[in-house]
Chain A
Amino acid sequence: MIATTGPGLMGLITVFVLAAFVGYEVISKVPSVLHTPLMSGTNAIHGIIIVGAMIVLGEAHGTAQVTLGFFAVILATLNVVGGFVVTDRMLEMFKAKPAARKAEEPATAQATSTATAGGDEGASS
């Protein structure tokens, strides 16, 4: 189906098992501060389904396949684009800014964020 050389089912299973170990090992020491960005970052990575969506839509015949493939492309694009943009926005906050604090103006200047008066209290637990 795909234009790559097929490694065969056993080869694919080998790849699957090895990838599982890599995925597990590579994030084994992540500080809790980064849990949210990491979740968001991995969320963007499974957006790779967009490649699968492109392939099935590219090869699609008939209304059913074309329609399903088209929606698959839209959903996958949402996943990949939204995922990376959200992650980048989160990580923007972690930029090192050692001297920035004294130099900048009092926080009132930057409190331009929409002050939503609403909101309930209570942290999550």
Chain B
Amino acid sequence: MSRATATDLVYLVAIVGFILALKGLSSPKRARLGNLAGATGMIIAVAWTFSLPSVHSNHRNLLLIIVGMVVGTAIAVPAARFVKMTAMPQMVAIFNGVGGGAAALVSITEFIALGSSKTIAIYKIVEILLGVLIGAVSFSGSGIAFAKLQELMTGRPITYPGQQAINAVVGLTILALVIATIVTASTALLVLVLILSLVLGVIFVLPIGGADVPVLISLLNAFTGLAVAASGFTLNSTLLIVAGTLVGASGTLLTRMMSHAMGRSLPNILFSAFGAVVTATGGEAGDASRAVRSGTSEDIAVLLAYARKVAIVPGYGLAVAQAQHTARELADALMERGVEVYYAIHPVAGRMPGHMNVLLAEANVPYDELKEMDEANPEMATTDVALVVGANDTVNPAAKNTPGSPIYGMPIINVDQAANIVFMKRSMRPGFAGIDNELLYDPKTTMLFGDAKDSLTKLVAAVKAA
């Protein structure tokens, strides 16, 4: 068997590993096994690549490959191991962005290599341009997404005068540069395409609201997959094309499923800040003066302890306060008294779809107490107390009642149907989406101000004493 055939075969094994990974990740039971299959495929592919003469014949370059891998691993492992579960979405954004950056660099490097040897076929230049453009957009876009989630910058949509004009100018300039690069095969023009693509990634993400960023990351993830596939075309590598395309296609589907879970269309998420919708945020005037009922932890403990059925509705506030363990303690204390307790989980509670399930699983909350939104909503009418811990937008009735609201149409947990509502919040500040919540002023609502963890700890003690 020739070396080339052997390489194809080994890479095919890796590809099967990747497909099994996607397949496995679609079911909770086999997810971890699936991820392992993907990692195994990756290790096989990388190990075999070392055996290729073109990779190991130049010893200085081989050494640089190894040094680069050691450096990358030394940064990635601690970052991925020690980041808090709440910060996971940002980490995914960063690791996605660097992948896009790598694809862009691979394409550029190959362009320089091809250019120095012979004239380049036009389709090659097109492939390279696609790799550079998509990879660079994914790189800078993911960077901004990271900054938004890490709250290095505001999570609100950023709009400025002439935004559409600027976007159009950048887009058209890139188009012109792309055509010019195809005609001239000039490296300098390609570098200009790279720079402007980085700019495009930034201005593409800026107007997207913080709450929508997870969907955006999923989209950028699909972009990176396509950039990798484009690099694969450039390098004539079936492995890169298949793996990149698998991610591009599944990522696109996943993006659609995520936006569906939020009751929004993808164009609405990506471009709504440009429209008139953005004006709806300021909504109700004179909020500060409106009456809000706030209670002490003792009041609320009594309310909970003598309830028949309690729903805990967790949100990002619970996650950042690391209060998932305390929430479970409260649930345990209530269940000991014979109260029926369940968790009502919004599909996008936390900062990413499924994020809250991960956090509660970390606190050893059994699956059967977790109710997905569709399962929880019919129970709400018979629920005595809905305890909303650090959630806001996912229970905001504006999504049902206020057509102008940016979250209008998003499915919500119907806590407004419960007999009593308790909001645990740090302040009256609106949620991540920046929209005021009518429910906070509802007569059946009681506010419990404070850090979610402190408040829950007090509640646990008070419930035990009640």
Taking Cβ atoms with an 8 Å cutoff, the residues of A that contact B are: 1-7, 9, 12, 15-16, 19-24, 26-62, 64-66, 68-97, 100-101, 104, 106-108, 110-111, 113-125
Contact = CB atoms under 8 A, between A and B. Distances in A.
B431 to A, nearest CB: 3
Given A54-B49, A71-B105, A125-B348, A60 B221 contact: no
A30 B105 contact: no
B178 interface: no
B173 interface: no
A43 B99 contact: yes
Query: Most chain-A CB neighbours within 10 Å: which of B11, B109, B358, B363?
Result: B109
Chain A interface, DSSP helix/strand/loop, else mixed: helix
A43 B92 contact: yes
Contacts of A91: 31-32, 35
A122 B430 contact: yes
B80 A86 contact: yes
Contacts of B110: 1, 56
Interface residues of B, number: 167
A123 to B, nearest CB: 3
Contacts, number: 514
Nearest to A114: B322
Interface stretch (B225-233, B271-279, B282-290, B303-311): B225-233
Nearest to B370: A33
Nearest to B94: A82
Contact of B102 (A53, A115, A125): A53
Chain B interface, DSSP helix/strand/loop, else mixed: helix
Contacts of A23: 22, 245-250, 253
A16 B245 contact: yes
Contact of B432 (A34, A80, A100, A124): A124
B81 A55 contact: no
Contact of B112 (A22, A42, A65): A65
B119 interface: no
Contacts of A90: 85, 88, 358
Contacts of A30: 25-27, 254, 257
| Shortest beta-carbon contacts, A-B, top 7 | A77-B72, A122-B431, A123-B315, A119-B320, A23-B249, A125-B393, A73-B68
